[in-house]
Amino acid sequence: MGECERMNVAKFGGSSLADAGQIKKVASIITADTDRKIIVVSAPGKRSDEDTKVTDLLIHLGETALAGKDTADALQNVVERFRSITEELGLSEDMLRIIEKDLQERVDYTKESPERFLDQMKAAGEDNNAKVIAGYLQSQGVLSEYINPAEAGLYVSDTPGNAQVLPESYDNLYKLRERKGILIFPGFFGYSKEGKLVTFSRGGSDITGSIVAAGIKADLYENFTDVDSVFAANPKVVKDPVAIKRMTYREMRELSYAGFAVFHDEALIPAFQKSIPVCVKNTNNPKTSGTMIISEREYALNPVIGIAADKGFSTLYVRKYLMNREVGFGRRLLSIIEDEGISYEHIPSGIDDTSVILDNSQLTPAAEEKIISRITEELEADDVYFEKGLAMIMLVGEGMHETVGIAARATKALMEKEINIEMINQGSSEVSLAFGIKEEQVDDAIRGLYEEFFSTKEVLQ
């Protein structure tokens, strides 16, 4: 591959690779554009709502092995899923034997560290699917090869289930530009410097795609999924929401943090750092333009480009008379929360009170009790308590900071839906405006805000 050639990275998710029919569709997409040189793949996803993802079959297999139970049936379930794919693709029995041997070796892997054992077990879906897709392309006369992340030098921190890419990986990955043909790269995992397989957190294949795109300095990172584009609101809540044609990294990150399901909010960081444009496209409708995610917005037709919401938050409410005059109060308050290993989301505050918004998944009854006790005793607070059932709803748009009256319009829209606002917080970047409301009112809030900011069916650019 020459230095001057355009080179794109395309990532295909589990729904795009769920069966042989989908893989054939993906192969057509790959070969339709000669710029698509490196393909990052997920494990086969669900073929229907009632189906089971291959990754979930592998987790069941791994847990069965860890429990010391007979793994024959659980192993066969995975093999049969791959058999249905390889046979319909017309691949030889050799491919299935390679997969079966690989799965057995993983089951026989040392159980000394259950976390590490499950990591290498879960990664079998992506790894073997990459071999299948490379094999299928070869059978169609396409010059292609499977690339193992270890061979490519994708090195990560040795933190099972939460790998972080090591900086030297980018230089290693750049050398992939010298390879001929189409390279099929499994998503979701890398290797520690000691050669141990380690997986990324949720959204792992998206993270791999972003890292590889950054490493080879791609002209474009295409992320193929099962939707035509990113929408301005959840289509399950708002009927036929407008499509977002162009958005910035900051807008995407704010939306994904606040519950957008397209990307995990950390997935795009490597591409963002190298200013690589990202395009979200639909495997089942590849001719649509999709949503382009770029570094800087050239212009905005609408100050708000999207509305997102997420449930499962709590408010830690702290009141103390003359709190604002007490030097270091905020630092000591956050130190107490930090001591429990908990990160915070927002801290709106007044003169005599402050609220800390926390993710419920980090809280335990014991931690809550300890936090309340320490704040009461050490900070001599007048009142401390947790309030559950909070949802965060977020308006996002780079154009908001240049537009007068966004907050007024939003609060009016929520008032008209008879929704009480528990908390308001505007990000310092002014790209987002967050509201805390009761969880049960989320859908009404999304509809109300959508009606206010997207009442015309104008497609965003």
| pLDDT at residue 444, as a whole number | 94
Q: 326 and 285 share a domain?
A: no
Q: What are the φ/ψ torsions at residue 172 (nearest 5 degrees)?
A: -60, -45
Last residue of a domain, one of 240, 271, 294: 294
Q: 286 and 320 share a domain?
A: no
Least confident of 124-138, 265-279, 447-461: 447-461
Domain span at 438: 306-453
Q: Is 55 annotated as a binding residue?
A: yes
Q: 180 and 315 share a domain?
A: no
Average pLDDT across the chain, whole number: 90
List of residues 6+ apart from 84 with CB closer than 8 A: 19, 20
| Residue 461 confidence (pLDDT) above 50 | no
Burial-class residue 419 by CB neighbours within 10 Å (0-12, 13-18, 19+): buried
Residue pair 135/182 in contact (Cβ under 8 Å)? The answer is: no
Least confident of 75-79, 173-177, 230-234: 230-234
| pLDDT at residue 150, as a whole number | 96
**pLDDT band at residue 300 using 50, 70 and 90 as cut-offs:** low
- Between vectors from CA 306 to CA 250 and to CA 406, what angle results, nearest 5°? 95
Residue pair 302/243 in contact (Cβ under 8 Å)? The answer is: no
> 458 lies in a domain?
no
CA distance 91 to 136: 7
Q: 145 and 200 share a domain?
A: yes
Q: Facing residues of 244 across strands?
A: 230, 460
Q: Where are the beta strands (DSSP E) in 273-320?
A: 278-282, 291-294, 306-319
Which helix or strand (DSSP H or E) is residue 213 part of?
helix 204-215
Higher-pLDDT residue of 2 and 57 is 57
| Residue 261 confidence (pLDDT) above 80 | no
Q: 250 and 334 share a domain?
A: no
Find tokens 């397209």 and name the residue: 262
| pLDDT at residue 252, as a whole number | 84
| pLDDT at residue 351, as a whole number | 87
Q: Which of 384, 377, 242 is nearest to 304 (CA)?
A: 242
Q: Is 226 annotated as a binding residue?
A: yes
Least confident of 61-65, 428-432, 448-452: 428-432
Q: Is 14 annotated as a binding residue?
A: yes
Find tokens 């950054």 and name the residue: 214
> 267 lies in a domain?
yes
Q: 324 and 351 share a domain?
A: yes
Residue range 273-287: average pLDDT? 90
Q: Is 125 annotated as a binding residue?
A: no
Q: 271 and 357 share a domain?
A: no
pTM summary value: 0.82
For residue 108, give both structure tokens.
Answer: 């026989």
CA distance 55 to 63: 12
Last residue of a domain, one of 250, 268, 294: 294
Share of the chain above pLDDT 70, in %: 94
Q: 98 and 227 share a domain?
A: yes
**Torsion angle, alpha carbons of 440, 445, 448, 453, to 10:** -160
For residue 72, give both structure tokens.
Answer: 């024959």
| Residue 407 confidence (pLDDT) above 50 | yes
CA distance 437 to 97: 54
Question: Side chain identity at 359, as an amino acid letter?
Answer: D
Q: 82 and 221 share a domain?
A: yes
Q: Is 45 annotated as a binding residue?
A: no
Residue range 193-212: average pLDDT? 91
Residue range 141-166: average pLDDT? 95
**pLDDT band at residue 204 using 50, 70 and 90 as cut-offs:** confident
List of residues 6+ apart from 170 with CB closer than 8 A: 211, 214, 215
Q: Read off the pLDDT of residues 337-389 as tens digits, 9 standing for 90 and up.
A: 999 899 988 888 888 889 899 999 999 999 999 999 999 999 999 999 999 99
> 459 lies in a domain?
no
**pLDDT band at residue 456 using 50, 70 and 90 as cut-offs:** low
| pLDDT at residue 152, as a whole number | 97
Q: 123 and 177 share a domain?
A: yes
Q: Is 225 annotated as a binding residue?
A: yes
| pLDDT at residue 430, as a whole number | 74
Q: What are the φ/ψ torsions at residue 116 (nearest 5 degrees)?
A: -70, -40
Least confident of 260-269, 397-406, 434-443: 260-269
Question: Side chain identity at 391, as an amino acid letter?
Answer: A
Q: 390 and 242 share a domain?
A: no
Query: For the residues of 172-209, what is the DSSP string, one character each?
Result: HHHGGGGS-SEEEEE-SEEE-TTS-EEE-STTHHHHHH
Q: Is 245 annotated as a binding residue?
A: no
CATH number at residue 116: 3.40.1160.10
CA distance 248 to 386: 35
Higher-pLDDT residue of 349 and 98 is 98
| Residue 459 confidence (pLDDT) above 60 | no
Q: At what angle do helices 20-32 and 72-88 cross, to 10 degrees?
A: 50
CA distance 101 to 360: 42
> 203 lies in a domain?
yes
3-state secondary structure of 37: strand
CATH number at residue 363: 3.30.2130.10
Q: Read off the pLDDT of residues 302-331 as tens digits, 9 standing for 90 and up.
A: 889 999 898 999 999 999 998 888 898 989
> 207 lies in a domain?
yes
Residue pair 234/225 in contact (Cβ under 8 Å)? The answer is: no
| Residue 249 confidence (pLDDT) above 90 | no
Going 317 to 321 to 325 to 328, the CA torsion angle's sign is: negative
Q: 208 and 339 share a domain?
A: no
CA distance 396 to 449: 12
CA distance 436 to 315: 9
Burial-class residue 196 by CB neighbours within 10 Å (0-12, 13-18, 19+): middle
Q: Which of 242, 204, 192, 164 is nearest to 453 (CA)?
A: 242
Residue range 86-94: average pLDDT? 95
Residue range 129-150: average pLDDT? 97
> 460 lies in a domain?
no
Strands 230-231 and 182-186: unpaired
> 301 lies in a domain?
no
CA distance 61 to 31: 35
| pLDDT at residue 376, as a whole number | 94
Q: Which of 279, 251, 256, 277 is nearest to 266 (CA)?
A: 256
**pLDDT band at residue 263 using 50, 70 and 90 as cut-offs:** low
CA distance 433 to 90: 53
CA distance 134 to 342: 43
Last residue of a domain, one of 267, 294, 321: 294
Residue range 73-82: average pLDDT? 96
Start-to-end CA span in the chain (Å):
34
CA distance 430 to 436: 17
> 198 lies in a domain?
yes
Going 283 to 295 to 234 to 309, the CA torsion angle's sign is: positive
Domain total of the chain: 2
Q: Is 13 annotated as a binding residue?
A: yes
Residue range 155-184: average pLDDT? 95
| pLDDT at residue 299, as a whole number | 63
